[in-house]
Amino acid sequence: MRRRMPDSSTIAAALAAVPQASGRVAPPRIGPDGTASVILDVSGLDAAARDALEADVRRVLGTVEGISAVRIVQTAQKPERRLIAVGSGKGGVGKSTLSANLAIAMKRLGFRTGLVDADIYGPSQPRLMQASDERPTAEGKVLNPIATRWGVPMLSMGQLVAADKALAWRGPMVSGALGQLVDAAWGETDTLIVDLPPGTGDIQLSMIQKHRPAGAVIVSTPQDLALIDAARAIDLFNTAGIPILGLVENMAGYVCPHCGEVSDPFGHGGAEKEAARLGIPFLGRVPLDIAIRLASDAGEPPAARDDAGAEPFLAIAEKVAAALNRKG
């Protein structure tokens, strides 16, 4: 006796009982033996949500007369995700602090931001984001980012190795580690802020060649020596065809907490002049402010607050967002 095959309207009615499956299930193919083969799009869902959706689809189709078994294949599209590389020509210019606060500020502007601490040899983000005691889990070889108080998921090599252990890695190992951080399970994250180590070495080259950032933000202090090194970092990205979103002048101006006098121990305006000379945008200044240092050491990024300390970072984030929008 020939098996009665369910019609498409019956199958559609069954799937309508699973609202979260809307737009994620192609019309099932029913084999001669009554097996329903289903392609299920799980793009952007975490493991628990994927499993729950599959179970619901399997359950409702299993109640349809004429279906003897349900075979489900999960598929997912790689999300469109933009990487913003934050670099500097030398260390000690506040690049990591700027990266953490930029990620939070862009989150406040409506971006679904994540933060990658790619400074393999000197990771700072766990401390800056108050996540030093957190350890990421993994599914197979894919890492799950750590949730933070600020709504910005993050990953750092500092969360994978002991804080007092030195990493004596050569280029291929560094490149592999960077790949695991960038290609993690970032879910619906649409923008990754990547805190690069200072300089123009293996990690920068791997980032450019394998992950193609949408743009780069360069951080410098105002003095000439730092700007010389910043120009080298800018040249690296320019040579590789990575757009320079702009230059940030950090540690620009110090207000004495006792007398209120403003001084410039590292100079003032150097980065803005250099940006004009190189024909790139100037994104703004961040003052040399002890409040920023204290908040950063405490894992309380100023960009998360609703006071004057957040203003420089929010202003920089708005210019970065505008530059991304112009580039499509």
262-292 pLDDT per residue, tens: 776 666 777 888 899 999 999 999 988 888 8
Residues 114 and 12 in one domain: no
34 and 136 inside one domain: no
**pTM of the predicted structure, to 2 decimals:** 0.75
Mean pLDDT of all residues in the chain?
Answer: 85
Q: Are residues 22 and 122 in the same domain?
A: no
Question: Which DSSP string do the residues of 218-235 spell out, in sequence order?
Answer: EEE-SSHHHHHHHHHHHH
In a domain, 21, yes or no: yes
Give SS3 for 282.
strand
For residues 64 and 91, state if they share a domain: no
Residues 111 and 194 in one domain: yes
Final residue before a domain boundary, out of 75, 94, 109: 75
Closest to 95 measured CA to CA, from 228, 233, 205: 233
Kindly report the CA angle at 264 between 263 and 268, in degrees rounded to 5?
Answer: 135
Q: pLDDT by residue (tens digit) across 54-102?
A: 999 999 998 988 888 999 998 877 667 899 999 988 788 889 999 999 9
Domain housing 51? 8-75
101 and 154: one domain?
yes
Mean pLDDT of 35-49: 84
Query: In terms of domains, do 60 and 169 share one?
Result: no
**CA–CA dist 38, 74 (Å, integer):** 8
Q: Are residues 142 and 262 in the same domain?
A: yes
Specify the number of domains making up the chain.
2
Per-residue tokens: 221: 């202090």
Q: Given 40, 75, 110, which residue is the final one in a domain?
A: 75
Look up the CATH number of the domain holding residue 219. Answer: 3.40.50.300
The answer as to whether 122 is a domain residue is: yes
- Whether 3 is covered by a domain: the verdict is no
Domain CATH code at residue 24 = 3.30.70.2210
In a domain, 1, yes or no: no
